[in-house]
Amino acid sequence: MKKARGYIFSRKFLGERIPQSIQNLTIRDYCERNNIMYLLSATEYAMEDSSKVLFKIVNELNYENIILYSLFQLPSKFEKRKKFFKIAIKNDKKIYFALENRVMSNNEDIEDIEDIWRIKQELPNCLKKF
């Protein structure tokens, strides 16, 4: 059975604050459905745009999987995401996104995730009503 470290936020994202207990329940459920041993979650610092904890766990070598509650908990800045992806690939990590039921393990997966990010970033510029 593969082991995975969870990753959750204590701050707002996607315009709302998701309680940590809900984030952990979602990750735990994802692990049960996908035969993954859940190794508790690391919680990111509350400061805006902090990703120190995320970079710490992607560099830890005692497990090969990380499960984020949502892919929108990745760094919001493209260059920081790119750095995270590079480290994850180099360290042979699989990154799971419980809410979106997605996995990132190669460059093709990264492109898909970046497409989702680009769509999210453009949504505010779309017409609301005619």
Query: How far, rounded to the nearest angstrom, does the alpha carbon of residue 8 sit from its chain's CA centroid?
Result: 8
Outline where the chain has alpha helix (H): 20-33, 52-59, 78-90, 107-122
How high is the pLDDT of residue 120? 83
Cα 41 to chain centroid, rounded: 12
Query: What strands, in cross-sheet order, belong to the sheet with 65-68?
Result: 36-43, 2-8, 65-68, 94-97, 102-104
Distance CA 41, CA 71 (A): 15
pLDDT, tens digit (0-9, with 9 covering 90-100), for 24-70: 999 999 999 999 999 889 999 988 889 999 999 999 888 889 999 99
Q: What is the pLDDT of residue 8?
A: 95
What does the pLDDT read at residue 109?
A: 94
pLDDT for residue 125 is more than 80: no
pLDDT, the chain, mean? 91
* pTM tops 0.85, yes or no: yes
Q: Alpha carbon of 85 to those of 23, 98, 109: distances in Å?
A: 22, 17, 10
Band of pLDDT at residue 130, cut at 50, 70 and 90: low
Domains defined along the chain, listed by start: 2-125 (3.40.50.1390)
